């Protein structure tokens, strides 16, 4: 990278909460936030936001008549964007916005499609198109914050949020923008979405103390679940005194597909993305890695193999949050960034309680954050302590 990028604001919402102190406390707690939910014809494990946070979302919905018809994923994004910009103390209006989602407005889409199939003339709701287009996420944030800069929404599966960071950095380093609001949002706890994940034969069953056995290489079955959440970050050029953390390196790669949901045995895409992010940095300087690690046998092991290829026997400490809040799809990379920032600020490694012989770093100055999506789209972000 030409110059460090400061993260000066962070807003999030997930089963862990939305306030720094609460999220930190919940990460220290060895319990998970996964629960079984009834979806009518079937049930499935998910992670959901609290009733208190649901009420805060309703307050946003009721704050503007136009918000009555927007999807929950957009409410997530607005909530997080407000908090991130407030923390960064931005009093500007010309910053850019790039907020992605793997699924987009899935709750509204499923609702409108059901109405369409049941209508005798095949008619649908007047607002079914504008409220379910992917671009409406960034547009509504821009409306809410009254910004004048570029607004971008995109979907690159589960690496979406980290791709938004790449894009924001590119705009800043090009000189076309001094600041960018980036992140990911996902309100994916819907019947069709959960059914789709179950169809992949990788979904966890509610039979264990820890349904998602992230980085447990002795597990006999796959164990991924989905969760809802979002996280937004304020990016600014250079080293700012109020920075929560600095971005020192970025990497990205795509590998050739052998199957629709495949990833190579040694995660070639992750090897390339991590090498790029570490350019000019001694791998021994990396204190820990927040892995993508969805809880599937192939997904966990292939990323671990890639890490071994890059770091050899001197692997950093490894962790992930998917055992605790599930896989938040397009938002997962942003919530992994939040976990990394928490560890940098508190100097406490957040471990996975059911793993033995975990390496605990004495200091935490540099953290690598990984994410990958269907299609082998890997991204690695190198964070450094302020």
Give every CB contact of residue 362 below 8 A, 6+ residues apart in sequence.
none
- The CATH number linked to 200 is 3.40.47.10
Q: Two tokens at 46? A: 């998910």
- Average pLDDT, stretch 269-275? 97
| DSSP letters spanning 191-256 | HHHHHHHHHTT-B--TTSSSSS-TT-TT-SS--B-EE-EEEEEEEEES--TT-SEEEEEEEEEE--
Tell me the Cα Rg of the chain.
20
Lowest mean pLDDT among 20-24, 189-193, 206-210, 266-270: 206-210
What the block records as the tokens of 79 is 């909530």
Cβ-proximal residues to 218 (8 Å cutoff; 6+ apart), any chain: none
DSSP states along 294-334: -S-HHHHHHHHHHHHHHHTT-PPEEE-SHHHH-B-GGGHHH
Q: Are 29 and 323 in contact (CB under 8 A)?
A: no
How many other C-beta atoms lie within 10 A of the C-beta of residue 137?
Answer: 33
Whether residue 35 is predicted with pLDDT greater than 90 in this model: the reply is yes
The per-residue pLDDT for 260 is 57
What Å distances lie between residue 354 and 11, 120, 174, 318, 322, CA to CA?
A: 29, 53, 45, 13, 13
Q: Which residue has the higher pLDDT, 374 or 178?
A: 178
Judged against a pLDDT cut of 80, whether residue 101 lies above it is answered with yes
| Strands laid side by side in the 377-385 sheet | 151-154, 96-100, 179-186, 229-237, 5-13, 245-254, 377-385, 366-373, 288-290, 317-319
pTM of the model: 0.96
DSSP states of 105-152:
SHHHHHHHHHHHHHSTT----TTTTTTTSTTHHHHHHHHHHT--S-EE
Predicted confidence at residue 259, as pLDDT, reads: 61
Per-residue pLDDT tens digits for 158-207 = 999 999 999 999 999 999 999 999 999 999 999 999 999 999 999 998 77
Pair of tokens at residue 29: 């707690």
Question: What was the pLDDT predicted at 134?
Answer: 82
How many domains, in total, are found in the chain?
1
Give the span between the Cα atoms of 286 and 284, in whole angstroms: 5
Domain around 280: 5-385
Q: What is the average pLDDT score of the chain?
A: 94
Specify the pairing of strand 229-237 against strand 5-13.
antiparallel
The interaxial angle of helices 160-174 and 332-346, nearest 10 deg, is: 70
Please say whether the beta carbons of 100 and 182 come within 8 A. Answer: no
Residue 157 backbone zone (phi > 0: left; psi -120 to 50: alpha; other: beta): left
| pLDDT score of 371 more than 70 | yes
pLDDT grade for 356, boundaries at 50, 70 and 90:
confident
| Angle, helix 20-28 to helix 332-346, in steps of 10 degrees | 90
Confidence bin at 261 (pLDDT 50/70/90): low
Task: For residue 369, give the H/E element and its range.
Answer: strand 366-373
The phi and psi torsions of 267 (rounded to 5 degrees) equal 45, 65
d(C-alpha 185, C-alpha 106), whole Å: 11
Average of pLDDT values for 120-125? Answer: 95
What's the rounded Cα separation, in Å, for the pair 320 and 333? 10
Token duo for residue 223: 């164990």
């Amino acid at each position: 990278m030409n110059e460090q990028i400061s993260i000066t604001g962070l807003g999030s919402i997930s089963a862990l909460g939305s306030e720094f102190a609460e999220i930190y406390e919940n990460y220290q707690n060895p319990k998970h936030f996964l629960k079984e939910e009834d979806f009518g014809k079937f049930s499935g494990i998910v992670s959901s936001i609290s009733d208190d946070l649901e009420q805060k979302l309703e307050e946003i919905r009721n704050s503007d008549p136009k918000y009555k018809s927007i999807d929950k994923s957009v409410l997530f994004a607005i909530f997080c964007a407000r908090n991130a910009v407030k923390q960064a103390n931005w009093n500007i209006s010309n910053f850019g916005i790039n907020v992605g989602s793997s699924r987009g407005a899935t709750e509204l889409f499923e609702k409108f499609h059901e109405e369409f199939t049941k209508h005798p003339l095949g008619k649908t709701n007047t607002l079914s198109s504008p409220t379910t287009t992917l671009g409406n996420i960034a547009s509504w944030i821009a409306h809410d914050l009254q910004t004048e800069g570029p607004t971008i929404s995109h979907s690159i599966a589960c690496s979406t949020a980290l791709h938004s960071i790449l894009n924001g950095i590119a705009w800043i380093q090009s000189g076309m923008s001094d600041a960018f609001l980036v992140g990911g949002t996902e309100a994916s706890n819907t019947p069709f979405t959960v059914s789709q994940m179950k169809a992949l034969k990788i979904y966890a069953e509610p039979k264990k103390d820890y349904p998602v056995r992230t980085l447990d290489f002795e597990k006999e079955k796959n164990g991924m679940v989905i969760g809802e959440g979002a996280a937004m970050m304020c990016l600014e050029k250079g080293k700012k005194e109020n920075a929560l953390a600095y971005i020192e390196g970025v990497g990205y790669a795509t590998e050739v597909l052998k199957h629709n949901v495949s990833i190579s045995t040694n995660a070639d895409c992750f090897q390339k993305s991590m090498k790029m992010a570490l350019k000019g940095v001694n791998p021994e300087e990396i204190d820990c890695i927040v892995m993508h690690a969805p809880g599937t046998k192939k997904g966990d092991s292939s990323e671990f193999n890639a890490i071994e290829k890059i770091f050899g026997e001197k692997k950093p400490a490894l962790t992930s949050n998917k055992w605790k809040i599930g896989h938040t799809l397009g938002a997962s990379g942003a919530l992994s960034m939040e976990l990394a920032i928490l560890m940098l600020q508190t100097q406490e490694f957040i471990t996975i309680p059911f793993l033995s012989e975990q390496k605990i770093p004495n200091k935490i100055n540099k953290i690598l954050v990984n994410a990958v999506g269907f299609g082998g789209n890997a991204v690695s972000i190198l964070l450094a302590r302020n």
